[in-house]
Amino acid sequence: MSTRKLNSGTEIPVLGLGVFQTPPGRVTQEAVKFALKVGYRHIDTARIYGNEEDVGRAVRESGVAREELCGNTAL
């Protein structure tokens, strides 16, 4: 997957899944799990979206190691 380097030196995948406006609950969990299954490693989320607990649950249940994810220190 293509990446780009940020000014901080961190590299992030060019393609990511944004969960803004995905409703809390199963919809968000399934979207994130599917994205991780097909190779996404960048999930764009924020506390204000109200679904970060579901993003975290999906990541845990996905079996993908946190170290493989962009921004894993914030999870």
Is 49 in the active site?
Answer: yes
Average pLDDT, the chain: 90
53's tokens: 């607990």
> Which one of the listed residues 29, 31, 49, 51 is annotated catalytic?
49
**Residue found by looking up tokens 């901080």 in the block:** 8
Cβ(33)–Cβ(63) under 8 Å? no
Q: pLDDT over 70 for what percent of the chain?
A: 93
| The pLDDT value given to residue 71 | 61
> Domain locations in the chain?
3-74
Does residue 73 register a pLDDT over 80? no
Cβ(55)–Cβ(32) under 8 Å? yes
Instruction: Please report how many Cα atoms fall inside a 13 Å half-sphere around the Cα of residue 64, on the Cβ side.
Output: 25
pLDDT in tens, 3-51: 999 898 888 899 999 999 999 999 999 999 999 999 999 999 999 999 9
User: If pLDDT is split at 50, 70 and 90, which confidence band does 75 have?
Assistant: very low
Give the whole-angstrom CA distance, residue 62 versus residue 64: 5
**Residue found by looking up tokens 């946190």 in the block:** 66
